[in-house]
């Protein structure tokens, strides 16, 4: 009989990378830009995710997690992302105002915004639809069967 401590591997590299990626995306989307400048933005986009990676690397090895626990953690993180996208889609569909590009030009592979973004009345139907599609993909990832060789 194998004891659970023999199967424990700690936090998997896949989960560690996913958490660091979520930290990077959150900082990229919601981090301060204006008062500090471009160099400070680049610095915190490199420093904070690197610190999170190092902390999770050294501290995560001490966690008593096996493959099943790592799989459950990964599915929970993906489910949180799906939930956030669904809440954002709700807000997009019920918004009183949203931003749109004032002027677009045709390019070889579609169109490009060359004007300013202006605030217009009404919900953001396109944005909400895309958020629902991404949430559906995240839900599919959270419930789909994973192969044995994956982290």
Number of C-alpha atoms within 13 angstroms, CB side, residue 94? 6
Check whether 1 has a pLDDT greater than 50.
no
pLDDT > 50? residue 102: yes
Phi, psi of 110, deg, nearest 5:
140, -135
Helices (H), 37-149: 38-60, 67-93, 125-143
What would the two tokens of residue 5 be? 């401590």
The answer to whether the pTM exceeds 0.85 is: no
Share of the chain above pLDDT 90, in %: 41
| Separation between Cα atoms, residue 59 and residue 106, nearest integer Å | 51
Integer Cα distance of 29 and 101 in angstroms: 19
Q: How confident is the model at residue 148 (pLDDT cuts 50, 70, 90)?
A: low
Confidence of residue 13 (pLDDT cuts 50, 70, 90): confident
In whole angstroms, how far apart are CA 85 and each of 81, 89, 107? 6, 6, 30
Residue 104, token pair as written in the block = 């677009």
Task: Please compute the mean of the pLDDT values over residues 97-118 and round it to a whole number.
Answer: 85
Predicted local confidence at residue 7, as pLDDT: 65
CB 64 within 8 A of CB 5: yes
Residue 4's pLDDT band, with cuts at 50, 70 and 90, is very low
Residue 3 is predicted with a pLDDT of: 44
DSSP structure string for 8-37:
---S-HHHHHHHHHHHHHHHHHHS--TTT-
Least confident of 10-14, 30-34, 89-93: 30-34
Lowest mean pLDDT among 3-7, 69-73, 94-98, 121-125: 3-7
């Amino acid at each position: 009989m194998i004891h659970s401590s023999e199967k424990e591997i700690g936090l998997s590299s896949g989960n560690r990378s996913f958490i660091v990626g979520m930290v990077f995306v959150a900082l990229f989307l919601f981090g301060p830009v204006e008062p500090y400048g471009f160099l400070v933005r680049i610095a915190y986009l490199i420093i904070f995710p690197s610190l999170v990676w190092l902390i999770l690397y050294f501290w995560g090895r001490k966690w008593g997690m096996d493959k099943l626990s790592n799989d459950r953690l990964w599915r929970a993180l993906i489910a949180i992302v799906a939930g956030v996208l669904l809440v954002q889609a709700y807000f997009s569909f019920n918004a009183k105002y949203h931003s749109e590009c004032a002027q677009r030009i045709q390019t070889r592979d579609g169109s490009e915004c060359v004007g300013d973004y202006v605030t217009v009345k009404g919900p953001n139907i396109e944005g909400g639809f895309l958020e629902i599609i991404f949430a559906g993909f995240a839900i599919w990832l959270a419930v789909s069967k994973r192969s044995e060789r994956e982290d």
